[in-house]
Amino acid sequence: MPEAKSARQPLRQEVVDGIKSYILRNKLRPGDPLPTESALCEALGASRSSVREAIRILTALDIVEVRHGHGTYVGRLSMSALVESLTFRGLLSPDDDFQVMADLIEVRELFERGMAERLVAALDAEQIDRLQGHVDVMREAGVGKGNGFVDADRSFHALLVAPLGNDLIGQLSAAFWDVYVIVAPHLDVFTHEHEAATIAHHQRIVDAARARDAVEFAAALSEHYEPVRRRIAEARARH
């Protein structure tokens, strides 16, 4: 039995790699249809069960999407697998909770602050007005009134990096929020007393973008993230 299992592992990976190679070779894009199961079996020289197992693996990675009654398609190629991994790691223990959040904060700040000049140059007047709108929603929503505050914060940062036209950065930014929404409630580090400061930091970012001041924009981002890092560190020390 162990030998059969070990033999199945390389075969499964071979079929997985075969499907990925097919996608690359044919230059398929997210949403494009894949061949039928029987066609994949013939093309890869694999059994129906092997192809089905490979499809399940690729579906979990969001490389493939199965639409029941319609067929199999190239997936969104999102960061869903990364989100699952980080979230599970963060929920395993309090220490990992804090480390996951600290790491994500650092990465997100590096993206935004490191590209301050490009962002300030790329944001147009309409996008800056929309950023202001998200800040206004944060003011009206408040931390304790459902998900309005967090949703507006998430939309703000998604819009902030959108002008870069970099799908990877956009997906990583979205992945941060997906993990944040699940992990943050377990940390108890973001409370009502931080609401006013958070809003003020976002307002400063908008004002700097409107003034086309990249130096002020980068400084505003640093001011925004520094208290978050400090609160995570303080919460970690309490545990």
pLDDT (average), residues 66-88: 77
Structure tokens that stand for 212 in this block: 């086309």
Per-residue pLDDT tens over the stretch 24-60: 999 999 899 999 999 999 999 999 999 999 999 898 7
Per-residue pLDDT tens over the stretch 161-208: 899 888 777 777 777 777 777 666 655 555 556 788 889 999 999 999
Per-residue pLDDT tens over the stretch 201-238: 999 999 999 999 999 999 999 998 888 788 777 777 77
CA angle 214, 217, 223 (to 5 degrees): 145
Distance between CA 30 and CA 77 in Å, rounded?
Answer: 7
Q: Provide the pLDDT confidence category of residue 89 given band limits of 50, 70 and 90.
A: low
Do 17 and 51 belong to one domain? yes
Residue 151: pLDDT over 70: yes
**CB distance 231 to 189 below 8 Å:** yes
- Neighbouring CB atoms inside 10 A of 196's CB total 11
Output the domain CATH number for residue 158.
1.20.120.530
Distance between CA 75 and CA 64 in Å, rounded?
Answer: 4
Distance between CA 198 and CA 217 in Å, rounded?
Answer: 15
Do 84 and 156 belong to one domain? yes
Per-residue pLDDT tens over the stretch 92-108: 555 566 777 788 788 88
Do 84 and 169 belong to one domain? yes
**What is the domain count for the chain?**
2
Q: Model pTM? A: 0.64
Question: What's residue 184's pLDDT?
Answer: 65
19 vs 105, more confident: 19
Do 62 and 154 belong to one domain? no
Output the domain CATH number for residue 65.
1.10.10.10
Do 50 and 69 belong to one domain? yes
Do 116 and 194 belong to one domain? yes
Residue 5: pLDDT over 50: no
Give the residue among 159, 158, 152 at the shortest CA–CA distance from 138: 152
Do 137 and 43 belong to one domain? no
Question: What DSSP string describes the chain?
Answer: -HHHHHHHHHHHHHHHHHHHHHHHHTT--TTPBPPPHHHHHHHHT--HHHHHHHHHHHHHTTSEEEETTTEEEE----SHHHHHHHHHHHHH-HHHHHHHHHHHHHHHHHHHHHTHHHHHHH--HHHHHHHHHHHHHHHHH-TTSTTHHHHHHHHHHHHHHGGG--HHHHHHHHHHHHHHHHHGGGT----GGGHHHHHHHHHHHHHHHHTT-HHHHHHHHHHHHHHHHHHHHHHHHH-
Do 90 and 156 belong to one domain? yes
Do 56 and 87 belong to one domain? no
Of 40, 74, 108, the residue at which a domain comes to its end is 74
Domain that holds residue 42: 2-74
Of 16, 51, 74, the residue at which a domain comes to its end is 74
Do 48 and 84 belong to one domain? no
Of 74, 102, 124, the residue at which a domain comes to its end is 74
Residue 19: pLDDT over 60: yes
